[in-house]
Structure 1
């Protein structure tokens, strides 16, 4: 039995929750083009994102620890895959469109520059007089302008809903995106945003423990971790490698379950019955329960104090500042040493924006090598 696109769209319409975004109701693409005979529009978008240069570069972009720190720490790519897994778990339980959810999740960090959030902060400061820099807006710029893979248009020509999902990540709407009307975005997009916070809290904790920058006995200061350890019979002062894995798994399971159940209660309690009602709702519907949200905030505060401000992590941040500031100043002062394709974008984009795009696309190791060549 074959399942062509028409059949897949029909199955979606009957199987998904009323508040899910159905692919048959897409607002479409900026440039009309034939759809795939055996994929829905959101499946096609997901596949296009997977094949971008920007997606492959995530493997060598920092999450917390740089790629060269070890083979087992999260990179921006593995973090993205974990966000996609968490998002799909919640989306399936809520009857949402998993293909749309996955497409948004896989693209949500494409605009991140090298060196994680430190790189984003530095580029924003360097670009203050030239429009600033924000990773969601940069992801939109990549997918609508910088990635050139088709002869008829720039970008990937993704559906409105995928672009909307990127634009509403961590914000009402990212600069550069003009929504049909103000709103909160689809529930699929909201779930990705929530899943991002869940995934990085759990996995940054895991990497912090693996690295030795966090000591297991410190975890007792976080009420949620202390409670989960007690439930599993784990002694935090003598946490084994297996115990660490059990603890992280239980933490993820708890947060995913709380997010799923709390979001369902909010949707049902507010009698939301369509994707349009989700968008127009005055507040976001995807959320943790108040108890889980409080516990999540306590965990995030612990990570900020003990991991993100650790001297070893701050040392890498200072290295990132030196590299990006040095490269930006040199390329702006001497654009003739830029690659020809970057020089070719200067008349249209402006010198600073062309340089910023070039730096934002770099991986950590490429940026370091470029800096070494300029400043041996």
Structure 2
């Protein structure tokens, strides 16, 4: 009999009873597993709360129904738990990874990330995944005994490697990190080996797919709501055309808003069911007896089938062309990037313009350290805070509203 109401866990799942521990040792909780504690620490973190006012694809104040980073994160969490439960994985670890996967995102989504990366080009660049690691290991200041959240090794491993290994088996950067692995990840790995050349555990793999599933579905929903494309346009994607034909056959003449919701839920359902079936096939072929077998498999074990992977890619190609690179979206994106660049330049010229807790100790400091502190400060800003900060420092602040003649009110994310 498992304690604390734990559900069935497969032998290849990550077992909290075998957790590799935390960098700074802590007494065990009498009521929660290590992964439950990590989930709770993430939810109560300042960075998590800020996701409420950080862009997903649309500026939050332009419509209450468009996704923010927070609502996106909650949708990812729900899907990750569903996958974990069906496959016998540790649900708490999958949820913790889903809840933490976007903590490092800046104001204005990938627009802000790209702008900060350009500002930091001479000092290691900016990567939202590395920033998430900095947040949970250094930047959060809530606990008396340590900086960060002091998360378990498995949670940190999944946070860094949920999209796959960062190094090849012979120690070279993988194609995703051909330009170099972010210094923050290498620095932490030097004191707490995250095994960067191996795959993460199955819960991290499930969380990564949950992210793809969530934003495929909700970006279609938000794009349709914004008028960037309509249901007829989706016929360009055979997978989506098939779902729309199915909806019309089952519910002829259904009102448009319900058709959109039926489409979104079917995208999620088909993708989730495919992951469960394909992963079960791969697990049967691999016959893993421990989580180590998953990490050593040499390829993802929790995965889409080939046809659904192509459907996922086709949806992303459609959204890239019709939504993320829409001319109006790109215009707003340029204005958001200007806000980030202006703030960075202003703080570089005078770091004392930042609050004292951020500017303290920077007098006479090495340039790279100053700029990284500035990047940390700006990255933590919400969209609204960044706009207000710009207004305090500059006579004119770019308007991030969509063209009022348009039906949509978006801000881009690639």
Q: Aligned partners of 1:372 and 1:237: how far apart in 2? A: 49
Pairwise mapping of residues 159-308 of structure 1 onto structure 2 (< 5 A)? 159-173=152-166, 175=182, 176=185, 177-178=188-189, 179-181=193-195, 182-233=197-248, 240-308=256-324
Is the CA contact 1:136–1:169 (under 8 Å) kept in the aligned structure 2? Answer: no
Partner of 1:39: 32
Does the CA-based 8 Å contact 1:217-1:238 persist in structure 2? no
In structure 1, stretches of 5+ residues that fail to align are: none
Q: 1:75 aligns with which of 62, 68, 76?
A: 68
**1:88/1:102 contact within 8 Å kept:** yes
Displacement after TM superposition at 1:312 (Å): 2.3
Q: Which among 148, 157, 163 is matched to residue 150 of structure 2? A: 157
Partner of 2:103: 110
Q: 1:20-49 CA deviation, whole Å, 9 max, x = no partner?
A: 000001100111111221111110111011
Q: Mean alpha-carbon deviation: is it higher for 239-248 or for 339-348?
A: 339-348
Q: Which moved more, 1:229-238 or 1:213-222?
A: 229-238
Instruction: Please give the TM-score of this superposition, normalised by the length of structure 2.
Output: 0.85
Greater shift, 214-223 or 54-63, is seen at 214-223
1:329 matched to 2:345? The reply is yes
Moved over 4 A (4+): 234-239
Identify which of 22, 25, 46 aligns with 2:15: 22
- Asked if residue 359 in structure 1 is aligned to residue 405 in structure 2, the reply is no
Q: What's the secondary structure of 2:3's corresponding residue? A: helix
Unaligned runs of 5+ in 2: 167-180, 396-414
Q: Give the conservation status (yes or no) of the 8 Å contact 2:248–2:254.
A: no
Does residue 50 of the first structure (1) align with residue 43 of the second (2)?
A: yes
Q: Give CA deviations for 1:93-113 in whole Å, capped at 9, x if unaligned.
A: 000000000011100000000
Task: Tell me if the contact between 1:216 and 1:238 (Cα under 8 Å) persists in the aligned partners.
Answer: no
**Residues 6-25 of structure 1: per-residue CA shift (max 9 Å, x gap):** 8249x56xx21111000001
Bigger RCO (CA 8 Å, 6+ sep):
2
For the residues of structure 1 that align with 2:147 and 2:314, how far apart are their CA atoms?
44
TM-score by length of 1: 0.94
* Comparing 168-177 and 304-313, the one that deviates more: 168-177
Query: Deviation of residue 180 (structure 1)?
Result: 4.7
Alignment deviations for residues 159-178 of structure 1 (CA, whole Å, 9 cap, x no partner): 00111111013342464142
Please give the root-mean-square deviation of Cα atoms over the aligned residues, in Å.
Answer: 1.9
Cα distance in 2, alignment partners of residues 34 and 268 from structure 1: 38
Deviation at 1:334, TM superposition (A): 1.1
What is the correspondence of 1:113-132 to structure 2 with a 5 Å cutoff?
A: 113-132=106-125
Using the TM superposition, give the Cα deviation of residue 287 of structure 1 relative to its aligned residue in structure 2, in angstroms.
1.1
Q: Does 1:370 align with 2:389?
A: yes
Further displaced range: 54-63 or 347-356:
347-356
CA contact 2:42–2:96 (8 Å) conserved in 1: yes
Alpha-carbon separation, structure 2, partners of 1:185 and 1:50: 22
Cα displacement (A) at 1:135: 0.7
Q: Cα–Cα, structure 1 residues 63 and 54, in superposed 2: closer, same or farther, change >3 Å?
A: same
From 117, 125, 135, give the equivalent of 2:128: 135
